Structures are given as structure tokens and as C-alpha cells.
Amino acid sequence: MDKPTTIMSAKFQACRAAAGGNIDNCPVRDVIANLSGKWASLLVLVLAERPHRFGDLRRLVPDISQRMLTQTLRDLQRDGYVHREVLPTTPPSVEYSLTDFGHSMFVPLLGLIQWAERNHAAVCTARTRFDEDHVRS
């Protein structure tokens, strides 16, 4: 194993031991869980550009339901990545923005997003190959 893999393996084992063997209590898993959902990374990507109102987010991420958008934004708020501000307008409107903490998380997330963009075709090819191999089996 190379050094980064060895370090990650050791961290995983330490996390597992600290959690009493229950990986559900792993801090890495806990933090990554909300970010790895279907919509969270897309919303963070949009909010990294600038603050947006709820309706703007619905238009920018058109496949998300209102309920799921609300829930995902609440989850991101709860974890400290997103700030919700009620604007003093008539009627009242709400604007969402990344917090400083959210911006700090966006830097490594952007690396993963860029990797996904570069490797999407390879992942699709691997999936197709796997599916073909397992349909024949």
C-alpha cells in the first residue's frame, strides 16, 4: 500500500475502534453523509457563486422538488454550510448563501466535482461493462 492509503486505513481503523466497532459513529461518515446526497453538492455548487433566493434555486436545479429543496437546505443549514436570511421585503423573501464554513468545505468538494466531470465517461463505460457482464451471468 502507498503512504496515503496506509494513513487512511489507519484512520479508518482508529475511527472504528473509537466508535466501539460501530462505523455509524465515524466522524468522517457523519460529516460526509449529508454532502453525498443527490442534491447537496449541486446546491453548494450553485450557492458558491453567490447568494440565491429559494425560487432561483428551484429554477437553477429544476429536477428537485420543493420539499426536497427545503429539506436539503435545512440539512445544509444544520451542518453550518448555509445561511438563511429573511429579507425585509413585501412580501418577505428568503435568501440562501454559503457561510465561511461552507466556502471552506467547497474547496475540497470542487476538487471532487472536477474529478467527476473529467472521469464521467470512464465511470459510464465501467457501469456498462459491469452491467453487460452481469446480465450474461
Residue-wise pLDDT for 82-123, tens only, equals 999 999 989 889 999 999 999 999 999 999 999 999 999 999
- pLDDT band per the 50, 70, 90 thresholds, residue 1: low
Nearest to 94 by CA among 59, 54, 47, 66: 54
pTM: predicted TM-score of the whole model, two decimal places: 0.78
Residue-wise pLDDT for 12-56, tens only, equals 677 666 666 667 777 777 888 888 888 999 999 999 999 999 999
pLDDT computed for residue 70 by the predictor: 97
pLDDT computed for residue 47 by the predictor: 98
Q: What is the fold, at CATH topology level, of the domain defined by 22-136?
A: Arc Repressor Mutant, subunit A (1.10.10)
Residues 65 and 100: beta-carbon distance below 8 Å: no
- Sequence spans of domains, the chain: 22-136
